[in-house]
Amino acid sequence: MYNRSAEFYDAIYSFKDYEKEVAKLHELIQKHKRSTDNDLLEVACGTGGHIKYLKNDYSVEGLDLNPQMLRLARKKHPDVVFHRGDMVSFKLKKHFDAITCLFSAIGHLKTRRRLGLAVRNMSGHLKPGGVLIVEPWITPQQWRKRSVHANFVDQPELKIARMNISKSRGKLSVLDMHHLVATPNRVEHFVERLELGLFTQDEYLDAFRRVGLETSYDSEGLMGRGLYIGTL
């Protein structure tokens, strides 16, 4: 997962307005947080797109499972502490005023059981009054089978066409991401399979409420996918 594509991640997602997303995130954190400090953990931080702007207002640490993503994040943000860990099981000897898990990374957990464990684990790293914010993957109701998707990168020395057809298997969405990548040295093709759990709104809310978080749902969120917000 992301091993081959990590080095192209920022190019593929250059359309994402991380600065605008962080402005809204900051507003929500300050509205829902009852603890006093601003220590923030960005879980499944990827290459650190949100961290770039979160750094302005928070003392930020990042965590991700993928070593390639972490390598890129560390290179971009040498001043930030990054941890390698699984959101289901990581253990840090520190508690945070805010923990964020964005851009549907939570969907990678695939099962409702692992969703529950991750929310419990992240919540267990909050200070009293701290806030957990999770941007979900789409719900089974929103899922459109066999819809066709493409992203294109057109830089002077990098061209990418990434395409996929949405497929599903039971409660999993299965995305075979075909990448055709041209650099001055070669043109390569590779496929990365992403499998993401299609959880309902009730399943997300239940995971939050079970661990005692005072929970609300923002249907618009940062980019139309909604946000679950829980305060300890």
Ligand X SMILES: C[S@@+](CC[C@H](N)C(=O)[O-])C[C@H]1O[C@@H](n2cnc3c(N)ncnc32)[C@H](O)[C@@H]1O
State residue 90 phi and psi, 5-degree precision: -60, 150
Q: Which of 165, 157, 153, 179 is nearest to 12 (CA)?
A: 153
Nearer to ligand X, 107 or 130 (CB): 107
Q: Which of 175, 173, 178 is nearest to 152 (CA)?
A: 178
Nearer to ligand X, 41 or 44 (CB): 44
Work out how close the CB of 22 gets to ligand X at its nearest, in angstroms, rounded to a whole number: 10
Residues sharing a CB contact under 8 Å with residue 155, sequence separation 6 or more, in sequence order:
11
d(CA 137, CA 194): 12
**Hey, which bits of the chain come out as E strands?**
39-43, 59-64, 81-84, 96-101, 126-134, 148-155, 158-169, 172-182, 187-197, 214-218, 227-231
Nearer to ligand X, 34 or 84 (CB): 84
Residues contributing to the site for ligand X (CB under 6 A)? 2, 44-46, 49-50, 64-66, 69, 86-88, 102-103, 105, 108
CB-CB contact of 134 with 204 (8 Å) = yes
Work out how close the CB of 102 gets to ligand X at its nearest, in angstroms, rounded to a whole number: 5
Work out how close the CB of 111 gets to ligand X at its nearest, in angstroms, rounded to a whole number: 12
Work out how close the CB of 144 gets to ligand X at its nearest, in angstroms, rounded to a whole number: 19
Work out how close the CB of 58 gets to ligand X at its nearest, in angstroms, rounded to a whole number: 15
Nearer to ligand X, 70 or 131 (CB): 70
Nearer to ligand X, 96 or 103 (CB): 103
Q: Which residue is nearest to ligand X (CB)?
A: 46
